[in-house]
Amino acid sequence: MRSLLPCAVILTAASFIFAAPSPRTSPYKVKESVFPPQDWKIHSPSPPEHNIELKIGLPQPNFHVLEKHLYEVSDPSHPRYGQHLSKAEVEAIVAPHPESLELVTEWLASHGLGEEDITRSPAKDWMTITVPVREAEKMLDTTYHVWKHTTTGESIIRTTSFSLPIHLHDHIDVIQPTTTFARLRSFKSTVHKVDKETGQVVAQSNTPIISASGISVDPSCNTTITVSCLKQLYNAKGITPSATTENSFGITGYLNQFANFQDLQSFYALEVPEAVNSSFRVISVAGGQNNQTLSEAGDEADLDIEFGFGITFPINGTFFTTAGSPPFIPDMNNPTDTNEPYTTWLDFVLAQEEIPLVITTSYGDGEQTVPKSFAIRVCAGFAQLGARGVSLTFSSGDGGVGDGDPDPTTQTCITNDGKNRTEFLPLFPASCPFVTAVGGTTHVPEVAANFSGGGFSNYFTRPSYQNAAVSAFLDNLPKGTFAGLFNRNGRAYPDVAAQADNFQVVAGGEVQLFGGTSAASPTFAGFVALLNDARLKAGLPSLGFLNPLLYSTAISAFNDITSGNAPGCGTEGFNATVGWDPVTGLGTPDVGKLIKLVRYL
């Protein structure tokens, strides 16, 4: 039985925070101001008639209560382990104070926006409006411009500062798009064509190789990764999940990355023959498409669905296709490319009663391109999913300690705080403490992939669940190593790792090899779905938020990766070493051991 506190009790403390009446009008004061990243430059004034979709985040005065519940239901040593909250319970906890709702609604009405113009989230903690840029500039006492990315030519409408009436500052956490300059990118770094007949890049030795789990692995796995290779490597061979309606696995898709059914069937014929003729559900978010013209097949999307659904077959699979991708066309009046697509997806999925129990995402960007206020609110949304029993995995990036760009010639390691310091740049959402970040390995025996992203957040402090593991790493780091280049007190990532190179994929009708932590995240997530299968068969709930389990009871069921490093920012980056490290995290999973463990938690 859940020990969820009554909502009336939860909200009582918050009422004292807002006891003093607020004036209905007040002068404007700057709410948020940022320095734009170095690779974004002003291109032109924003078209005044361009429609922009503004998302207004109201404070969640009881988020600390949700966080407490999240850690209790995710900690295997706690009596409430696995007692996830319902959608309604989560929404009751994160709801804003009534005064915030009243004042912000009143402010919108003063700009001619009635209830019919406002879309409210189920918890009423987000309000969304669509207005012309000229009206947004008036409401926020700011000026928008079209900004262009110097490398890619992408364009967005943003401002570097906005203001609000003083009496609203405590009642609005964030308004976007205003100061966010993130470029949602997939972390797929390498592409090679492969012989269609053999599926191999080079001739193979016939000598068996031994994985970290002590299992003999087909020698071909040293140059070409297949679903069979991953199951051999991670002690999951012979584990067959059930085709029940209870278990579910989800994959997010962005930037017009379309998951091709024909490619999936070809992949199944090549690697998972028992799955031929099976398929997956497609859910469109905000008008997202999934075009099936073979020439439009997305290599990232195909990589994700082929290995994600290939590992988890016959578990119910869902592909979320979310609208929004560059280039932005400045003379259009549609609200296109104004928000980061993953926040659009998050809004959508939080509103659903039924959500896949495991969801993998292979996208992200530099943490500093997302204002801290916005990153905190997005991360809080991930915490809501975790509290409801959903496991979220994110790729850790492909730029080592850099900004996620695998190309050292374009990699940015300069802060955008106005000081232009050289610094290791963490990635978001991988740096959020409420998700599981997945780094990359390669070869057998496994070593760290030299592109595996990792580091320490500048926004989020280190969560208690990883204190022991990360402190041990820092204590053993030679004194003065990378001094001043990273935040020793920040949330450290990745949490875990998996193979991330030479994945044999069918994309656009061709067999190719892909690499990047884009491959590692769906791989690890797929095995989490197998763990959920074992728990559901035993009458237990889903695992939900994974990290407290991974850093405690489950730590012995990981293969520690102790070789390799991931350079970046003109350095050799961190090394993989004994114990947790910011290249491969706790290591790679031994699924057989993990299944035995989670069956009895």
Annotated binding site for Ca(2+): 560-561, 579, 581
How far, in Å, are 12, 216, 256, 391 from residue 232 at the CA level? Answer: 54, 8, 33, 24
On whether the CB atoms of residues 31 and 372 are closer than 8 A, the answer is no
With residue 470 as reference, give the H or E element that holds it: helix 467-476
Confirm if 402 and 424 have CB atoms less than 8 A apart: yes
What backbone torsions phi and psi does residue 180 show, to the nearest 5 degrees?
Answer: -90, 125
Is 306 annotated as catalytic?
A: no
- DSSP state letters, 305-371: HHHHHHHHTTSEEEEEEE---SPP-TT--S--S-S-HHHHHHHHHHT-S---SEEEE-EEEEGGGS-
**One-character DSSP codes across 57-112:** EPP-TTHHHHHHHHHHHH-TTSTTTT-PPPHHHHHHHHPPPHHHHHHHHHHHHHTT
DSSP states of 515-530: ESHHHHHHHHHHHHHH
Decide: helix, strand or coil at residue 595.
helix
What are the strands of the beta sheet with 174-176, ordered from one edge? 119-120, 126-132, 51-57, 174-176
* Preceding amide of 522 cis, omega within 30: no
| CA atoms of 518 and 509, how far apart (whole Å) | 20
Known active-site residue 137: no
Residue 79 preceded by cis peptide, ω within 30: no
Annotated binding site: 560-561, 579, 581
Share in percent of the chain as helix, strand, coil (round to 5): 30, 25, 45
Q: Could you confirm whether 304 is annotated as catalytic? A: yes
E strand spans, 78-199: 119-120, 126-132, 145-149, 155-158, 161-165, 174-176, 185-186, 190-193
Q: Is the distance from CB of 311 to CB of 230 less than 8 angstroms?
A: yes
Tokens of 232: 């051999």
Please pick, among 304, 367, 423, 446, the residue that the annotation labels catalytic.
304
Nearest-angstrom CA–CA distance, 563 and 103: 56
Gyration radius from the chain CA atoms: 24
Are 496 and 436 spatial neighbours (Cβ–Cβ below 8 Å)? yes
Amino acid at 289: Q
Point out the catalytic residue in the list 74, 189, 211, 518. Answer: 518
Which residues have C-beta within 8 Å of that of residue 189, sequence separation ≥ 6?
Answer: 398, 406, 451, 515, 516, 518
Nearest to 194 by CA among 502, 515, 520, 523: 502
Instruction: Give 91-94's long-range contacts (Cβ < 8 A, gap of 24+).
Output: 91/122, 91/123, 92/7, 92/10, 92/123, 93/7, 93/10, 93/60, 93/62, 93/63, 93/65, 93/66, 93/69, 94/60, 94/62, 94/63, 94/66, 94/123, 94/125, 94/380, 94/384
Other CB atoms closer than 10 Å to residue 242's CB: what's the count?
13
Active site residues: 300, 304, 518
